[in-house]
Chains A and B, each alone.
Chain A
Amino acid sequence: MSTSLATEQRQFTALMRVFHWLTAALVLTILGIGVAMLASLAGYHRLVSIHRPLGILILIVVVIRFVNRHYSSLPPFPASMSPRERSIASAFELLLYALLVVQPLVGWGMLSAAGYPVTLYGSLHLFPILPHNVMLYAVLRMAHTVLAYLLFFTFLAHFGAVLFHTCVVRDGTFSRMAPWTSR
């Protein structure tokens, strides 16, 4: 273990970084579509038609990403981070993963409970994962909004923490996940 670390891995693997930035782009897009479609009469149908398959795509990407993370070697935390900060960072990472898996499932479940067809593209649609029950729909629909806000604020906290570490503490946190290879 010590010898492999000694080769001084400073970045997440290329594949992990691809997954990270792909997830970031997809999640910011779907959050933006989500708030916009609820406020738009003219754009509603078009936006919902993108929102649904995008959510399922995120579910797939996040599951693959999580499995990949399990089999990848991770760079160490910056030395500037205390053990407490490290456990907070790890907890946030876990929370983000959990939200990114649960939120699409709630969306899928809520459409199932509403009795809507879960159309992805053209005639391609998913099977319902819950029975047609509008009270269940009402609860899940509310949960979908609450989780979306939670996801957004978790993202802001993550983004703010990285900015703080990179610009104020200056411990090279960003370069660990930078889209380019840093030396």
Chain B
Amino acid sequence: MSDTNLSTDSIASTERQLLPLTRASRFVRLGGIGVVLLSVAAAFLYLGGWFNPEALTPPRFADGFERVDGIHSGFRLNHAKGVCVSGSFESNGRGTRLSKAVVFKAGRAPIIGRFSLAGGNPYVADAPGMVRGLGLLFHLPDGEEWRTAMINTPVFAVNSPQGFYDRLLATQPDPETGKPDPKKMAVFLANHPETVQATKIIQSHPASSGFENSTYYGLNSFWFMDASGRSIPVRWSLAPVQPFAPANTTGHARPDNNRLFDVLIAGILQRPLLWHLIITIGQASDPINDATIPWPDAREQMDVGTLTLDHVESEETNRCRDINFDPLVLPEGMTPSDDPLLSARSAVYSQSFTRRAGENKLPSAVTPSEVRK
């Protein structure tokens, strides 16, 4: 035995003392290894939801949208029809009493936004009764971002992801009539009294004439944390400076598929559109996990700054198309409440974003020439 082989030989010598495995023993050990490896793989499959095929997951949620609204290459699964806007948010500094978020320090933050109509059809004809959306991205001076996606109803029609999904399926057009089956919706409403209640509240707030004079609501509750570490529940909304005018629900003398968008575009080209960002401060008794229930009117509200939108552009030429207005991209000083819709929105928006990112991009209903005319 030479010096150079000492180390390997000494390991080998300990092996020689082992009795060879019997055939059976070797078989059992190999089988045991197989069982261990399969168990590890099974644990990961379990985490991935493979053993629970009925559970509502982000991909199944997205499939639901595609089933009801069809597949529209390159478009969002919901709020598919839209137009890009940009401008700035001028904070008046008052909001720093509520949250340490950089966005509330006095100063200006550039904004990218997107006005949209609810639904998965990117070429749907505008109608005054359709839910209007506004997604905003605040670029903050320290490189952080705040994104929010708001709609023009004071409360949301459902309070859980499953409720949203079931309602979505209940609106699926019947292949024979081309219209949703009223029986399905009746069954849904019978099982969801919160939706019946929320619909009454929504109907008691008549829609305005257009995007430009709509109030937009953040719907879900969030927590604001100030510099001392104190947390308060809040909701937020955008109150238009443009005066309210009732929606014109009669008289479609000239069918114009993009009527609401055209009025918005003409308005912005004429003069910048302005909104006040209003923070509503909740109290301990206010529900923060149920977007169907409004907070009492008496809650303190604070105007924390002004949103100015002075530029409008087709999705085809603007990067707003490629932004996911994920409501959980929040700056330090804001955190989500335990409203189950919030994490679900983040998950499904992300799923929608990932699907459309790789798809061929079809032209938008609101074309670049439409914005310039």
Contact = CB atoms under 8 A, between A and B. Distances in A.
B356 to A, nearest CB: 8
A171 B15 CA distance: 6
A10 interface: yes
Contacts of B40: 156, 159
A42 B37 CA distance: 29
A123 interface: yes
Interface in B24-70: 26, 29-30, 32-33, 36-37, 40-41, 43-44, 47-49, 55-59, 61
B15 A80 contact: yes
Interface stretch (A12-20, A55-63, A98-106, A112-120): A112-120
Contacts of A32: 43-44, 47
B319 A115 contact: yes
Interface in B115-148: 142-145
B348 interface: yes
Contacts of B61: 41
Nearest to A4: B7
B142 A123 contact: yes
Interface stretch (B171-179, B251-259, B338-346): B338-346
- Chain A interface SS verdict (over half): helix
Contacts, number: 156
A146 interface: no
B353 interface: yes
A114 B145 contact: no
A115 B8 contact: no
A2 B332 contact: no
Given A41-B57, A115-B319, A156-B37, A10 B336 contact: no
A156 B322 contact: no
A41 B58 contact: yes
Given A31-B44, A123-B144, A164 B33 contact: yes
A42 B12 contact: no
Contacts of B57: 38-41
Closest 9 pairs between A and B when the two form their complex, measured CB to CB: A138-B358, A39-B49, A44-B347, A35-B48, A123-B332, A134-B357, A41-B344, A45-B343, A79-B12
Interface of B: 3-4, 6-12, 14-15, 18, 21, 26, 29-30, 32-33, 36-37, 40-41, 43-44, 47-49, 55-59, 61, 102, 142-145, 161, 319, 322-324, 326, 328-329, 331-332, 336, 340, 342-344, 346-348, 350, 353-354, 356-358
Interface of A: 2-3, 5-6, 8-10, 31-32, 35-46, 48, 76, 78-80, 114-117, 119, 122-123, 125, 127, 132-135, 137-139, 141-142, 152, 156, 159-160, 163-164, 167-168, 170-172
Given A31-B44, A79-B8, A134-B322, 20 more contacts: A6-B4, A41-B61, A42-B340, A42-B344, A44-B343, A44-B347, A45-B328, A79-B11, A123-B331, A125-B143, A127-B143, A132-B322, A137-B354, A138-B358, A156-B40, A159-B37, A160-B33, A167-B29, A168-B30, A171-B15
